[in-house]
Amino acid sequence: MTDFCSLHVRSDVHGALPSGFLKKRKKIDLLFVDNESPERLASFIRLRKKGATHTAPPRYHWSFSSDGYVEGFDVMKHLVWILDRVQPGFMLSTLEDAGYQCWLQFYWEGNGTGGGPIVTAEIAGVLALHKVDLQFGFYLEQESA
């Protein structure tokens, strides 16, 4: 099973992340999407032609995850890895105050037998400190036939 946590930041007005947000020396694979790039606009047109409807997302979107860096399904370990890439003392709520949207997402892959991630008091405290939401995506692991 592969479980990981991602940090998402997006904005309609800011084309760059704020300075002093991320540590420069820490390894991350920062993904960036401009939803008004020719490639993305063409993708939206193809989807509309197939009958899909969607609300336009904010123009700029950045994300990175603990995928490939943290093993196991301990939510706190993944959360700590994510937050260790942020400058000390930088609260994620600062992004909201500066006109960005920000949230954490945890990808949980299960085998369909029940159970799931535990949001401990420690995790809740970290989320409350940063005033950031944590979204869970649950996926069923399917064995190949």
Residue 53 has a pLDDT of: 75
The residue with tokens 């420069």 is 24
Residue 49 has a pLDDT of: 79
Report d(CA 122, CA 124) in Å as an integer: 5
Residue 143 has a pLDDT of: 63
One digit per residue, pLDDT tens: the chain, 145 residues?
589 999 999 999 999 999 889 998 777 889 998 988 767 667 766 777 788 777 777 889 999 999 999 998 899 999 999 999 999 999 999 999 899 999 999 998 877 677 778 899 999 999 999 999 999 988 776 666 5
Burial of 116 (0-12, 13-18, 19+ CB in 10 A): exposed
Residue 145 has a pLDDT of: 53
Residue 117 has a pLDDT of: 85
Tell whether the torsion through CA atoms of 12, 13, 19 and 20 is positive or negative. negative
DSSP-derived 3-state class of residue 57: coil
Residue 101 has a pLDDT of: 95
Residue 58 has a pLDDT of: 84
Residue 24 has a pLDDT of: 83
Write out pLDDT tens, residues 11-43: 999 999 998 899 987 778 899 989 887 676 677
